[in-house]
Amino acid sequence: MSAGVSVRDLRFAYPAGRDRAPAVLDGVSFEVAAGERVAVLGPNGAGKTTLMLQLNGILSPTSGSVSIGGTVVSRETVREIRRRVGLVFQDPDDQLFMPTVGEDVAFGPANFGIGGDELDARVASALERVGLEDAASRPPQHLSLGQRRRAAIATILSMDVEVVVLDEPTSNLDPSARRELSATLGALPATVLVVTHDLPYALELCPRALVLDGGRIVADGPTRELLADAGFMAAHGLELPWGFDPLNAPDRR
Amino acid sequence: MAGSAWRHRPGDSLLHRASPRGKLIALVVFAAVVVATPREWLAAFAVYAVVVIGMLAVARIPLATVLRRMAIEVPFLVFAVLLPFIATGPRTDVGPLSLSIEGLWGAWGLLVKATLAVLASVVLVSTTEPRRIVLALESLRLPRQLTSIMAFMLRYLDVIVGETARMRTARESRGFVARGPRSWGVLAKGLSASFVRSHARGERVHLAMLARGYSDGAP
């Protein structure tokens, strides 16, 4: 199952003291269709993480709106929204806080009132989808970083979410862990938004990309075309790794 | 690694297999009985000591482990040693020292009761996985906030210990040697950095919990 994401003229500033805080998001609008995979690119401080926290109501907009599958995110709908939108945070140690991986995968659905056999079935299937069938009873600190990141994704899958938002999923992963992660993400039926600095990964996984800079969307289009536009990339502080040519990179296997 | 920070000793003795809840209740009852026993009943204390040492032997806990864990008792020991000198009342002469009789009894009582209770706790923590102790406390209806704090501590102890160790390595690779009071400033700053990081991590963990539908106070 998947749902579309619609963000309309979203503005947000973190509360500050006497000085007026600058807007972190300054009129962001975009639409993502159900089942689409979209990369959110942008330099550090562009507002990517703030945008991510808006998508399931952890932060609320100063003005403008976010809606998921037609439901506007608000104080009344926040619970339903959190069941439908899963966030995968950058550091899996922030997400995996229970003593064992299995209990952590059960945490989300249990919060939404699922228990008994159905809960067990969801935990088993979520762990199987990320290739960690045997890890249910292991403490998270005994897993490798790549395994922990996949376990963090399983904690979202068990909630049967319709939208998955990942913050820097490839940071600090070695190439084989990266490949396993992209197999996991590529097979998700949900709408996927990937917030990342890893441009080759964005190209591999997401046909479409949004570029956020200074709190605004400065580009929205096919990932390959955006990455190939050297002038645009330089203007927004995005750099490709040395030797990487987006026009000659193969399509996803 | 969890094992290294906590030093729980896996094993298969009778005590390892006993229910954590039962062991916990037994520990509390034992400590209460020891504390309530008048300090003059020397025979009773001998019996308690035999029981505790017997349990340590059954669980096959090495002497070194027991001694290391008893370090927590040191502040009480210091106080016990001071008691005969500072207490009032009739005094007796031992060599060149004049000691208060009341103080001597006080020191004995404190020492024997604290030692027995600490030894019994060593039996519990050495034979029970820390996580099971928390579950046992939960099943005994301890407030959820308290057991949650303990569970979080168990989960993040290793993360924080690892972070602190990496910070130390980074300091030392830039030529810092912790020696004497002049290095205390640096160590204190390192400690406050760990504190700030742990606090920030706590906030991120809380955000990640909220994102999965956790609401404060709900089960």
State phi, psi for A36 to the nearest 5 degrees: -75, 155
Evaluate whether B37 touches B45 at the Cβ level (below 8 Å).
Answer: yes
Residue with the two structure tokens 């709106």: A65
Partners of A139 on chain B (C-beta within 8 Å) are: 2, 155
| A55, two tokens | 């998508």
Tokens representing B154?
């168990």
Does the interface predicted TM-score (ipTM) exceed 0.85? no
pLDDT for the residue numbered B6 = 56
Q: How far apart are CA B152 and CA A8, in angstroms?
A: 39
Mean pLDDT of A159-164: 92
Which secondary-structure segment (H or E) carries A220? strand A216-222
Q: Among all chains, which residue has been given the structure tokens 């390959």?
A: A224
* Cβ separation A141–B218 shorter than 8 A: no
- Hey, how many other C-beta atoms are within 10 angstroms of the C-beta on B148? 13
pLDDT at residue B8, as a whole number:
65
Mutation target among B212, B214, B215, B216 for the A interface, most CBs of A within 10 A: B212
pLDDT tier for residue B55 given thresholds of 50, 70 and 90: confident
Contact A97 B154 (CB under 8 A): no
**Nearest Cβ partner of A111 from B151, B156, B212?**
B212
Please report the number of interchain residue pairs, chain A to chain B, with beta-carbon separation below 8 angstroms: 68
Quick check: B2 contacting A, CB < 8 Å?
yes
Whole-number Å distance between alpha carbons of B20 and B175:
47
Q: CA-nearest residue of chain A to B198? A: A94
What single letter denotes the amino acid at residue A131? G
Q: Tell me the torsion sign for CA atoms A150, A152, A154, A160.
A: negative
Q: How would residue B2 be classed by pLDDT, with cut points 50, 70 and 90?
A: very low
Q: Are B9 and B123 in contact (CB under 8 A)?
A: no
Quickly state the pLDDT bin for A84 (edges 50, 70, 90).
Answer: very high
Give, in order, the Cα–Cα distances in Å from B12 to each of A92, A116, A188, B131, B146.
34, 31, 44, 17, 30
Question: Does B211 contact A107 at a Cβ distance shorter than 8 Å?
Answer: no
Residue of chain A with shortest Cα separation from B210: A58
How much is the pLDDT for A166? 94
Helix (H/G/I), strand (E/B), else coil: A193: strand
Contact A97 B212 (CB under 8 A): no
Q: How far is B187 from chain A (nearest CA, A)?
A: 25
Instruction: Nearest chain A residue to B2 by CA: give it.
Output: A141
For chain B, say whether A76 makes contact (Cβ under 8 Å). no
- Cα(B40)–Cα(B107) distance, integer angstroms: 12
| Residue A220 confidence (pLDDT) | 95
- Where helices occur in B37-100 by DSSP H, the ranges are 42-58, 63-69, 74-86
- The shortest C-alpha distance from A9 to chain B (Å) reads 23
A6 phi, psi to nearest 5 deg: -130, 120
Q: Which residue has the tokens 């025979």?
A: B43
Which positions in chain A touch B204 (Cβ < 8 Å)? 89, 91, 94
Res. A25: pLDDT tops 60: yes
Note the pLDDT of residue A19: 59
In tens, the pLDDT along A197-245 reads 899 999 999 999 999 998 999 999 999 999 999 999 999 989 899 888 8
- Contact of B146 with chain A, judged by CB distance below 8 Å, is answered with no
Task: Report the pLDDT value the prediction gives residue B1, as an integer from 0 to 100.
Answer: 38
A165 closest CA partner among A124, A114, A210: A210
Tell me the average pLDDT across B176-189. Answer: 79
Q: Which residues of A touch B215 (CB under 8 A)?
A: 79, 111
Which domains, ranges and CATH numbers included, belong to chain A?
5-235 (3.40.50.300)
Q: Are strands A37-41 and A208-213 parallel, antiparallel or unpaired?
A: parallel
Find the mean pLDDT for residues A165-176. Answer: 90
CA distance A223 to chain B (A): 28
Residues present in chain A in total: 253
pLDDT band at A54 (very low <50, low <70, confident <90, very high): very high
A210 touches B: beta carbon within 8 Å: no
How near does any CA of chain B get to the CA of A164, in Å? 11
Average pLDDT over residues B172-186: 76
- Whole-number Å distance between alpha carbons of B46 and B20: 26
Instruction: Write down the pTM of the prediction.
Output: 0.73
Q: Give the contacts of A90 (CB within 8 A, at least 6 positions apart).
A: A167, A168, A171
Reference B190, options B210, B167, B209; nearest CA is B167
pLDDT tens digits for range B88-106: 777 777 777 778 888 888 8
A58 touches chain B (CB under 8 A): yes
What is the spatial distance between Cα A139 and Cα A131, in angstroms, rounded to a whole number?
16
pLDDT of residue A248: 86
Residues of chain B found within 8 Å of residue A99, distances taken between Cβ atoms: 131, 151, 154-155
Shortest CA distance from B218: residue in chain A: A111
Mean local confidence (pLDDT), B119-148: 85
Highest average pLDDT, of A18-27, A147-156, B17-26, comes from A147-156
CB B122, CB B64: distance < 8 Å: no
CA distance B130 to chain A (A): 10
